[in-house]
Amino acid sequence: STPSSLSTSSTSSSTRTSSYSVQKQDIKVDPSHFKKIRLLGKGDVGSVYLVQNEDTKKLYALKVLSKKEMVKRNKIKRVKVEQAILSMAHHPFIVPLYHSFQSKDYLFFCLEYCVGGEFFRALQLRPGKVLKEHEARFYAAEVVAALEYLHLHGLIYRDLKPENILLHQSGHIMLSDFDLSVQSPTTGNPTIVRSLSPLLFSQQPLLDTRSCSNVRTNSFVGTLEYLAPEVIQGNGHSSSVDWWTLGILLYEMIYGFTPFKGSNQNDTFDRIMTQKLDFPQFGSNPYFSGPQITNDCKSIIRKLLNKDENKRLGTRAGASELKSHAFFKPINFALLRHMRPPILP
């Protein structure tokens, strides 16, 4: 091709599909080069701002973490793990970290800006808060691809839920928020897991790391609905917890609610541990009628939400067990990044 056709094609691909063609860019590693535009979200030790590089005009999501808060809340190791994971991960469906730098009082993570914001918010704006099955399949497949990548690198995401899935301009998803992720004890560094486990396997960190920007922030029950039975029991050490949470996500995308939500924290715990999975036929949701969920979809949800992690889909052979399930038959995983995403909301 001619140089001009090359440059045209690279321009269009960077606008439509930049989620997988992102390059680490040569940006100045100094907070003074970024103009703050607005707050995107708040966590317990810092905030995420939409910022613009004054020189290049490119937008970024800048995560600003207070060193004082990190020390006070004993989060130094977890922030280090998050940084290590983000700098290691290069995957189309994982938010790229371009740079990290620090001042005397703050750490800064300069991340790809995902203009669509939280998948959770987009889901809330849908009538009945639901997706069609083929749309849910697309997003679930992208999550499978991202989790497969993390697991192959010895990492467990542990915190999958619609609030932690961001929508990129391309319409594809990007996993963010790695502060609860751990290195798997079998393939990762056991020292890190040991030093983190008292925090990671209690419920408290799951609650206080919620972003303040969404409706679930103050809902004690809401943040527990994705916990796997073995995490509640305090044995949540394997990558199988991610396949459980994917099952909850798929169910929520289809039904508009999670399957084990109780009236209070203990009720939710009880339901996760003991309640049989139910697929309501004609429930209270006027936008969903039972027959729209196929048997393949029910089958994969049932297999992901097996309370016995040893029997759960994905536990023995990883993501390939999911990819070969009939539910994902319409998906070509190798071409997923080139598929046209659903339009949300």
Interface pick for ligand ADE out of 18, 27, 67, 117 (rule CB under 6 A): 117
- Is residue 253 a contact partner of residue 139, using CB atoms and an 8 Å limit? yes
Closer to ligand ADE at the Cβ: 150 or 272? Answer: 150
Closer to ligand ADE at the Cβ: 164 or 184? Answer: 164
Residue in 157, 63, 165 with CA at minimum distance from that of residue 110? 63
Tell me, residue by residue from 47 to 66, as one string, x for binding to ligand ADE by CB under 6 A and - for no binding: -x------------x-----
CA distance 199 to 193: 10
- Is residue 227 a contact partner of residue 206, using CB atoms and an 8 Å limit? yes
CA distance 161 to 169: 20
Closer to ligand ADE at the Cβ: 41 or 229? Answer: 41
CA distance 130 to 125: 9
Interface pick for ligand ADE out of 166, 173, 249, 301 (rule CB under 6 A): 166
Q: Interacting stretch for ligand ADE, rule CB under 6 A, among 111-119, 243-251, 272-280, 306-314?
A: 111-119
Tell me, residue by residue from 68 to 97, as one string, x for binding to ligand ADE by CB under 6 A and - for no binding: ---------------------------x--
Q: Which tokens is 172 given?
A: 């594809």
Total residues contacting ligand ADE by CB under 6 A comes to 12
Q: How far is the CB of 92 from ligand ADE (least distance, A)?
A: 15
Q: How far is the CB of 94 from ligand ADE (least distance, A)?
A: 11
- The enclosing H or E element of 16 equals helix 3-16
Return the HEC string of 139-153: HHHHHHHHHHHHHHC
> Cis omega before residue 341 (within 30°)?
no
CA distance 158 to 174: 15
Q: What are phi and psi of 84, to 5 degrees?
A: -60, -40
Per CB under 6 A, 46 contacts ligand ADE: no
Catalytic positions: 159
- Is residue 305 a contact partner of residue 277, using CB atoms and an 8 Å limit? yes
Per CB under 6 A, 176 contacts ligand ADE: yes
Per CB under 6 A, 130 contacts ligand ADE: no
Q: How far is the CB of 95 from ligand ADE (least distance, A)?
A: 5
Q: Which residues contact 190 (CB under 8 A, 6 or more apart)?
A: none
Q: Interacting stretch for ligand ADE, rule CB under 6 A, among 20-28, 109-117, 134-142, 278-286?
A: 109-117
Q: How far is the CB of 41 from ligand ADE (least distance, A)?
A: 4
Q: Interacting stretch for ligand ADE, rule CB under 6 A, among 25-33, 40-48, 178-186, 319-327?
A: 40-48
Alpha-carbon separation of residue 203 from 67, 118, 215, 339 (angstroms): 23, 23, 19, 37
Q: How far is the CB of 111 from ligand ADE (least distance, A)?
A: 4
Closer to ligand ADE at the Cβ: 19 or 183? Answer: 19
C-alpha gyration radius of the chain = 20
Q: How far is the CB of 341 from ligand ADE (least distance, A)?
A: 16
CA distance 84 to 97: 10
The binding site for ligand ADE (CB under 6 A) comprises 40-41, 48, 61, 95, 111-114, 117, 166, 176
